[in-house]
Structure formats: C-alpha cells, structure tokens
Amino acid sequence: MKVCIVGAGSLGSLLAAYLVKGGVTVGVLTRGPQAAAGKSCAVEVRRVFSNDSFHVENITNLGNMKEISDYDLIFLAVKAFDVLSVVKKMHDDNIIDPARHVMCLIQNGLGIEDSVRFYFPRVPILRASTTNGALLEQPGVVKHTGSGETFLGFWDAEKHAGWETMLDALRDSLVSAGLHAELASNMRQKVWEKAIVNAGINPVGAIFKVPNGRILEIGSLKSISDKLVGEAMAVARKGKFIEKFDGFSAVKKVIEATAANRNSMLQDIEKGRKTEIDFINGAISRAGIELHITTPWNDALVAIIHGLEATCGV
C-alpha cells in the first residue's frame, strides 16, 4: 500500500512519520517550505508525553498533484476549508481513478465528506478521527503534544467492499508504530463525537490563548466549555447523530490526554490563519437551526473567532 498525504501541517507531518515508522511507503504533497527540499524528506517526531523522539526518512516529496495517481490511499490532511478546492483540482486534472484510489479525510469538523462526494461520487471515502495533539515546530519537526485515539472506518457502508484488507493494514501499521488506532463501523457518529469535543475545546483555547489543560483548571473557561458542549449535545441528540455519548466526560478525557497542547484553532489564530470554526461550532449552530434548537453560546463563539481572524490578519 502506498499512501500519499496532501498537506504537511502538524497532523499531516505526524501521520506521515507514524506511517513510515509502521512500514508504509509515504509521499507528501505540500505547499510549505519543505516542498522545495528535493525528492525525499525526513520528519522528526518529539513526543512530549513520553519525553522521547523518533526520526524517519525517505518520505517522497511529490513535485505536483499529478504524481498522486501513483498512490493507493490519498490522505487529505489540509484544513477543512481547503478540501473543496483540493478535490476540485484533483477532479479537473483527472487525477483520481475510482477503481484504484481511496480518499481519506482526517480534518476536524462536520460536512467535509460532501465536498469529496460532490466531485467523486464513486471513490470510497475513508474517514479518520483523531484526538492526537500535534504542533509543527518547523517543516520536518513535529511535536506530538498529546497521545490520543484514532478511529478509522469507511463513510458509506456500501462503498467499502474489497477495501477491508487495506483498512486493516493501515490500522496495523499505525498500531505497530505506537499510535492507538482502532477500526470503527460508525464513523458518522465518531465524527459528531469529535466535533462536540472540538466545539468544547478549540474556541475556548483559541480565545483565551491557553493550552488545553487550562480549560479544566480555570472555572470560567470550564463553564464556557460546558455551555458549548451542552448545546452541541442537545443538537446531536435531537438529530440522532450520537448514541450513548457523554460529551462532558469526552472533553475531560481529551483535555487530560492533550493538556500541553495548544489546540489547532489556537495555532491558526497565532499564525494569522483562517480557522476551522465554521466546520465545528458553526456547523453545530447550523444543525441547531434546522432542528429548532437554539445555540447562543456556539453562535457567540463563532462570531468571536471570526473577529479574531479578522484582527489577526486573515
């Protein structure tokens, strides 16, 4: 199995490194500075939670999008708001063969699969959801700031026949490299569960500029997080998007496992980049409107994050 990772930010670089460590042939396509580094690149992973590091080499640096055709599994590790333009380009350049390729999405947030489905109705979509925390210190050096869980599974049950072996191999290589990875048959639910967790952590950390752990320690931050999660849970329950899921304990568990992490939304704000707020709290507010559930806390935090984006140079 050959895996191509599109987007070598924090999560893309972390994933590339663990896959290579697990014996997979990996290529990356990125617009970042490492794109100019030549035909192969290396990644160093510094693990904060176990105070050690590892280094992998021989990651092929793809020169352009056309080279993706040579790979079997295409991991889109770009931000949620970039997925549509990336898949449009793949479509316009005729790069994807539905008989050969599987597309995997690993972003935070809701509704991202629709962009892939719009351009590629027949390509199997694999969904990954992870609570690992990562921070790209510089191109090729990623800090693994929180050891979380990764769930993998196909998005549409009827489209996965024949691809199970590939999915098993993917899980096995991540596990052998030291990640906690599991297959899940209910990825739609897992993605909602993760969105609820992100809704309760990401904007709070981003607004108050604190690592995840502080949200549990500072009473007022914890109560804002609880309000966001309570609304998200009400929407998800009414829409039957989740079953037997306790969002409050899930947020606590993820915060404890990633206490040192500056969440991805905070990293975006600090780097003057657009955030994924519209796919997280924004998507929860929109689902609330459809289901006639009010979500004032989520609406307010979406507006504040948009304000921060506007004032931090986006």
Tell me if 280 contacts ligand PAF by CB under 6 A. no
Angle at 190 between CA 186 and CA 194, to 5 degrees: 175
Minimal distance in Å, beta carbon 10 to ligand PAF?
Answer: 8
Interatomic CA distance for residues 254 and 270, integer angstroms: 22
Minimal distance in Å, beta carbon 152 to ligand PAF?
Answer: 16
Tell me if 133 contacts ligand PAF by CB under 6 A. yes
3-state secondary structure of 43: strand
Closest CA to 81 of 110, 103, 117, 120: 110
Site mask for ligand PAF (CB under 6 A), range 136-155, x = bound: ----------x-x-------
Judged by beta carbon, residue 60 or residue 198, the one nearer ligand PAF is: 198
Interatomic CA distance for residues 151 and 106, integer angstroms: 10
Judged by beta carbon, residue 291 or residue 314, the one nearer ligand PAF is: 314
Judged by beta carbon, residue 202 or residue 285, the one nearer ligand PAF is: 202
Judged by beta carbon, residue 133 or residue 282, the one nearer ligand PAF is: 133
Which element (helix H / strand E) includes 6? strand 2-6
Judged by beta carbon, residue 115 or residue 275, the one nearer ligand PAF is: 275
By CB under 6 A, what part of segment 207-236 binds ligand PAF?
A: 212
Of the residues 59, 105, 167, 201, which one makes contact with ligand PAF according to CB under 6 A: 201
CB-based contacts of 17, cutoff 8 Å, min separation 6: 43, 44, 45, 54, 56, 142
- Which range binds ligand PAF by CB under 6 A, 22-30, 47-55, 216-224, 254-262? 254-262
Q: Count residues contacting ligand PAF (CB under 6 A)?
A: 14
Tell me if 13 contacts ligand PAF by CB under 6 A. no
Interatomic CA distance for residues 199 and 228, integer angstroms: 6
Instruction: Provide the 8-state DSSP code for 285.
Output: H
Sheet of strand 73-76, all strands in order from the earlier edge strand to the far edge? 133-138, 141-146, 40-47, 52-61, 25-29, 2-6, 73-76, 102-105, 125-130, 149-154, 180-183
Minimal distance in Å, beta carbon 207 to ligand PAF?
Answer: 14
For 121, 245, 310, the CA distances from 275, given in Å and listed in that order, are: 27, 26, 11
Of the residues 202, 281, 285, 298, which one makes contact with ligand PAF according to CB under 6 A: 202
Looking only at Cα atoms, what is the longest distance across the chain? 53
CB 250 within 8 A of CB 193: yes
- Which range binds ligand PAF by CB under 6 A, 114-122, 175-183, 260-268, 296-304? 260-268
Of the residues 150, 261, 281, 295, which one makes contact with ligand PAF according to CB under 6 A: 261
- 194 catalytic residue (yes or no): yes
Minimal distance in Å, beta carbon 53 to ligand PAF?
Answer: 20
- Residue from 89, 194, 227, 240 carrying the catalytic annotation: 194
Tell me if 61 contacts ligand PAF by CB under 6 A. no
- The amino acid occupying position 67 is E
Tell me if 254 contacts ligand PAF by CB under 6 A. yes
Positions in the binding site for ligand PAF (CB under 6 A): 108, 131, 133, 146, 148, 198, 201-202, 212, 254, 258, 261, 263-264
Instruction: Please give the positions annotated as active site.
Output: 194
